[in-house]
Amino acid sequence: MLEIQEKFSVDGYEELAERANDPDLHITEALDKGKVIGFIAYSYRAESTVIYDYDDGGELMLCDGLVRSVLFKTCLKGIGRVEIECPEEKLVPLERLRFIPHGSRLIDDPDSFMNGCQNCKHSS
């Protein structure tokens, strides 16, 4: 069974933590039967959440779940936008999932995005 859990240290992610250079770095891992199959690294700032990197093992639906978990927490914190600072090649899945428009690195209104998902199930 898939679980998405926040990790409360950067153990195993030291290189990423160094690259992000953010003392408030958060790591959320995707686990399947206790085995890590993906992660997302992010931090909260006053005006935005920053996503530094993620690994979905090439699974688009896992990417969706990881990003949505961060968007959900961003909404709970009342933060109004998400900045994407991950490597360039990782933008393609985010565009395919319509988190960001082509050429952008910004989710302007995560609350509206998450609320829009509620409307999808009513219109199908």
Residue 1 confidence (pLDDT) = 84
Query: What does the pLDDT profile of the chain (124 residues) look like in tens digits?
Result: 889 999 999 999 999 999 999 999 999 999 999 999 999 999 999 899 999 999 999 999 999 999 999 999 999 999 999 999 999 999 999 999 999 999 999 998 887 766 654 444 444 4
Strands 106-107 and 2-7, bridge-based pairing: unpaired
Q: Which residues contact 84 (CB under 8 A, 6 or more apart)?
A: 50, 51, 91, 94, 100, 105, 106, 107
Residue 122 confidence (pLDDT) = 42
Domains, the chain, ordered by start: 2-123 (3.40.630.30)
Assessment of whether the complete model's pTM goes beyond 0.75:
yes
* Structural tokens at position 58: 């090439």
Q: Where are the alpha helices (DSSP H) in 25-109?
A: 60-76, 91-96
Residue 113 confidence (pLDDT) = 61
